[in-house]
Amino acid sequence: MTSIMTNASAMTALQSLSATNRSLETTQGRISTGFRVSEAADNAAYWSIATTMRSDNKALSTVQDALGLGASKVDTAYTAMNRAVEIANEIKVKIVAAVGQSEDNKSKIQTEIETLKTQLKSYADGATFSGTNWLAVNSTVANGHAAAGTHNDAQIISSFNRDNDGNVVLTTIKIGVQDVKLFDAAATTNETKGILEGIRDTTTGARTDGHTQAVAGTVAATTGYSIATLDVVGFSDQQIQQMLVVVDKTLAEMTDAATKLGAAKKSVDLQKTFVSQLMDSIDRGVGQLVDADMSKESTRLQALQVQQQLGIQALSIANGNAQNILALFKG
């Protein structure tokens, strides 16, 4: 049936052209933004996943910064501890040299020891980065510690992730400051004082509460020594040999402390590498979900542009059919 009221061909052509235009608009949007899912309306599930993962990646970027800061703190303490070990070894050599010496020579040796002791304190005090010092501390109750002289572990944020329920989980790398500190201004007992200042037993070399600094010429079971208070002037060879035991044990503890700091340094470095790789993996994963395939979209764009031209042509033909009806009324 031929009708001038209803042009079915034009309707069909218009619907087809409208569908082509919508597809063309979508494709052009993907090409201009680079995303096939740029908002929730495009794909709610993928958009939600991508948005969450992007947010988590920003948090990981902060973790990466924290690891960088933590690495600097550990490296500072590690470097100072290694230098302190070298100085303590020199003190050990001086103690050995003092055995059998005259008081005049002991006085000269003590002058060298005092210089080395000052250098040890300087290394400890100088091991500060961004206001943090793990070698020379002041572990007071006011700073939130359990007891005066007992320092809490330092913590470096190492990762940001989610559990199976989607809850955020932060993990940290802990540094046992109590085990590596060389001086503690707040400590009141030998066992809680720093490695260099706690009075040590003359037999075991362990920091022992109740022991006091030994007096020249007097050997007692409850007296001891520490590197921080070491003095060979006026002391007998027997006492100097006891000092050697104390210095040797102190060196062993300092070596253990350097080992712990070295292990923490390695752990932080490994975690920095892992976090960097993890961020790249998340970026790739998000890209798989929401990025547009530009090769595919460009090909699709060309096809849709052809379809659009054909649709316009078809609509033009359909609209022209109404004009042909006029020919029926010409005489």
Phi, psi for 33 (deg, rounded to 5): -95, -25
- All structural domains of the chain, each given as residue ranges with its CATH number in brackets, are 44-290 (1.20.1330.10)
* 264: CB partners within 8 A, 6+ apart: 74, 173, 175
pLDDT given for residue 126 in this prediction: 95
pLDDT greater than 80 at residue 16: yes
H-helix segments, the chain: 8-33, 44-98, 103-126, 177-180, 237-290, 294-324
145 or 74, greater pLDDT? 74
Q: What is the mean pLDDT of residues 186-191?
A: 90
Residue pair 248/265 in contact (Cβ under 8 Å)? The answer is no
Whether residue 146 is predicted with pLDDT greater than 70 in this model: the reply is no
pLDDT(328) > 60: yes
The backbone region for 149, taken as left when phi is positive above 0, alpha when psi lies in -120 to 50, beta otherwise, is left
In eight-state DSSP terms, residue 135 is: S
Q: What's the CA gap between 51 and 53, in Å, rounded?
A: 6
- Checking if the pLDDT of 313 tops 90, the result is no
In this prediction, residue 147 carries a pLDDT of 64
* 226 contact partners, CB below 8 Å, separation of at least 6: 193, 196, 197, 198, 199, 200, 213, 246, 250
Q: According to the model, what pLDDT value does residue 46 have?
A: 87
Ranking 114-118, 143-147, 322-326 by mean pLDDT, the lowest is 143-147
State the pLDDT at residue 249.
96
Q: How high is the pLDDT of residue 166? A: 80
Measured between alpha carbons, how far is 304 from 88 in angstroms, rounded to an integer?
80
Q: What is the pLDDT of residue 139?
A: 83
- Report the pLDDT value the prediction gives residue 141, as an integer from 0 to 100: 57
Alpha carbon separation from 55 to 115, 204, 247 (Å, rounded): 54, 55, 53
* Residue 17 β-bridge partners: none
Give the residue with greater pLDDT, 111 vs 170.
111
Confidence (pLDDT) at 224: 94
Q: What is the pLDDT of residue 119?
A: 96
**pTM attached to this predicted model:** 0.79
Task: Specify the pLDDT at position 28.
Answer: 82
| Burial (0-12, 13-18, 19+ Cβ within 10 Å), 2 | exposed
- In DSSP terms, which residues pair with 224 in a beta bridge? 201, 213
The pLDDT-based confidence of 231 (bands split at 50, 70, 90) is very high
What pLDDT does 86 receive? 96
Q: For 272-284, what is the mean pLDDT?
A: 91
